[in-house]
Amino acid sequence: DTGVSQDPRHKITKRGQNVTFRCDPISEHNRLYWYRQTLGQGPEFLTYFQNEAQLEKSRLLSDRFSAERPKGSFSTLEIQRTEQGDSAMYLCASSSLAGGLGEQFFGPGTRLTVL
């Protein structure tokens, strides 16, 4: 088990372009979460999946953002028509319902810079 992985680790894009990030959770984990962390702040919840179902989305997730988790395995987060305010670290975490506590394991993050 190699933990939660994210790809790419860094992404630089121009304003108006679309970007997609990938998260591979720990294999037996059925819950997957996306957070956004800006400089000097704590991570903020964006959305989460239980298996393939997206069960909650934050108001932070505008209609330019979309997330999927086909087949309940890896997940993708897409940002369309990027804006400079989207520059942040995007974190993925996974957890197991069986654990009860809901302890989340975090990936290394994808740092997005929008020029």
Partner 1 sequence: GDSVTQMEGPVTLSEEAFLTINCTYTATGYPSLFWYVQYPGEGLQLLLKATKADDKGSNKGFEATYRKETTSFHLEKGSVQVSDSAVYFCALSVRGTYKYIFGTGTRLKVLA
CA 106 to CA 19: how far, in whole Å? 21
Strand partners, 6: 23
Closest to partner 1 by CB, 22 vs 80, is 22
Q: How many CA atoms lie within 13 A of 59 on its CB side?
A: 0
> Of 89, 108, 77, which Cα lies nearest the Cα of 37?
89
Residues interacting with partner 1, by CB under 8 A? 31, 33, 35, 40-45, 48, 55-56, 91, 93, 95, 101-109
Q: How far is the CB of 9 from partner 1 (least distance, A)?
A: 10
Q: How far is the CB of 43 from partner 1 (least distance, A)?
A: 5
Closest to partner 1 by CB, 58 vs 80, is 58
